[in-house]
Structure 1
């Protein structure tokens, strides 16, 4: 049986070890217009717990100590919370005795200086394709940076620009941090017509037989990433390539826009099945071989169908589209 696509996404996330102990030492002279020099700053204190929570990350962060031999300033890393999609890593660093030009080692500027949080920040290229990093100079040998790796560069930059004013508030010369809407919110209680439904009843044996290269026997399980959700997986029968397993997910407390891989993403198309409108997501969760479809049952509950194809991008959504009328016919109500 292939690894479920949610598990693959979870394995790709980096786990941050907790604890903040690093202290920045040294001294430097101020740069005119940039404010006083940073000294003796713990990188993990550049965001307080409330800011970290509102930005969508987990506290405490992981402190990484200074390593002058490797030109590495003290830094702190935070992982995004489990219910935040897509997952991201926030990295904040601050140096008080390190030459910026030596540190940047010829990296190219990717933006003009931008005023954020009362300081001037410039984006530089990174060796990681999805890493968006901004630097601000605080003195002749003093600078700070904020970087985010969030799957796609434009998304990473969006998250970095949101975090920068919060970090700047803890730096010399920075302005007070603007208010943030907390990322946490009350989750709906499970309820509605999906609450007592077995996901394996969403396809009858004769219906499964209509799906090419799909096993007739479904296996029920519960989700470790989506609260209260359950799913049934019908494995594929054509080996490691070709057709992927067919999954039906029931979310009795999952609004239709909250499924991992579909959150904050506009469906590529709408598939109308008897008046019920499914949103279709090719390349769901950034996985080229995975296709998903979601359907709202109530305002706080929904259904998701996931499958895909390995080896031919034109077939990624074929079995999902084929299965939607079959699943729709078995939905409660």
Structure 2
């Protein structure tokens, strides 16, 4: 099926670099019995800036031109906001000169048609495992689609269906979109004892030496996805497989339950270190080889330790648990 273009397009959308300036060429003509087909349109115009904001994505969208040689429709992509969990990419496209059956090359639907926004939408498989893509036919050679990639497939489909009525409002035959409550990206103000702490100070050189296959020197950085968070990473030394790097994260405005990959999830176990209770999350963020542990410092600040193991699921949390007493001993207060 002709959907390999989606992989490159979605990966390219990780960094949104431009606004929208693409117009679908050609002239549309009605088909007897099917109503009017879509007029030529800019894919980025299929959502208003207010709709994009309310759905939880960042303006402006990234426009991708049509490619006739590969039958790629013009599309527009929006990244989720920086503090969204899980992060995702919304992809909306429309064409007026490609037949959907030809485009899908005989692919079978994954679901029965669903009425959303006054139009009939059907989910088809995607070459991206966690991509939920739904199509609607607008005419003999015209269709539109909406997809979300990034989260697990169930969450991706939930986000796709939330966006479809907003997109349908801009398509021929679509109904006016229902109002949606704008997503909130507010975070507590940074504060508390973590505010002035260097994350690399939470493991002393002698303590790092106790952690097998971990480099002695940590590297400090600022998070690009968690507001106000900093972290220190001690790289692994045993190659691509086996032990993963050891990371200590400080969130002076991040409650313990709000770290990406653990939000809304209960820890599988609690580790008590001198009265401080760490919640442990194997498979952090849905990744089988990654483990995280979080500790609340105040109601609105916390510490997170992350590592993992590739090749043996029984060892995923071993280094995290080994490091918790070491990190705890160096916490302020």
Q: Check whether TM > 0.5.
A: yes
Q: Does 1:232 align with 2:232?
A: yes
1:29 is aligned to: 30
Partner Cα separation in structure 2 for residue 221 and residue 67 of structure 1: 39
Partner of residue 321, structure 2: 321
CA distance in 1, matches of 2:240, 2:147: 37
Structure-to-structure mapping, 1:2-151, within 5 angstroms:
14-24=14-24, 25-30=26-31, 32=33, 36-151=36-151
User: TM-score, normalising length from structure 2?
Assistant: 0.85
Matched residues, number: 322
Contact 1:28/1:141 (<8 A) preserved: no
What TM-score results when the alignment is normalised by the length of structure 1?
0.85
Q: CA deviation at 1:314?
A: 1.4
The CA distance in 2 between the partners of 1:128 and 1:218, in whole Å, is 35
| Residue ranges of structure 2 left out of the alignment (5+ in a row) | 1-10
Partner-residue secondary structure (3-state), 2:270:
strand
1:94-140 CA distance string (max 9 Å, x none): 22233222122101111111111121111112222222111112223
- Partners of 1:300 and 1:31 in 2: CA distance: 61
Contact 2:83 2:227 in 1 (8 A): no
Displacement after TM superposition at 1:317 (Å): 0.5
**Residues 82 and 224 in structure 2, CA contact (< 8 A), matched pair in contact too:** no
Query: Gaps spanning 5+ residues in structure 1: where?
Result: 1-10
Secondary structure, aligned partner of 1:50? helix
Residue 4 of structure 1 corresponds to none
**Structure 1 residue 57, shift from structure 2 partner:** 1.9
Runs of 4+ in 1 over 6 A off after TM superposition: none
Separation in structure 2 between the aligned mates of residue 244 and residue 63 of structure 1, nearest angstrom: 37
Q: Which residue of 2 aligns with 1:257?
A: 257
Structure 1 235/67 Cα, relative in aligned 2: closer, same or farther at 3 Å? closer
Q: How does 1:162-241 map to 2 (within 5 A)?
A: 162-205=162-205, 207-241=207-241
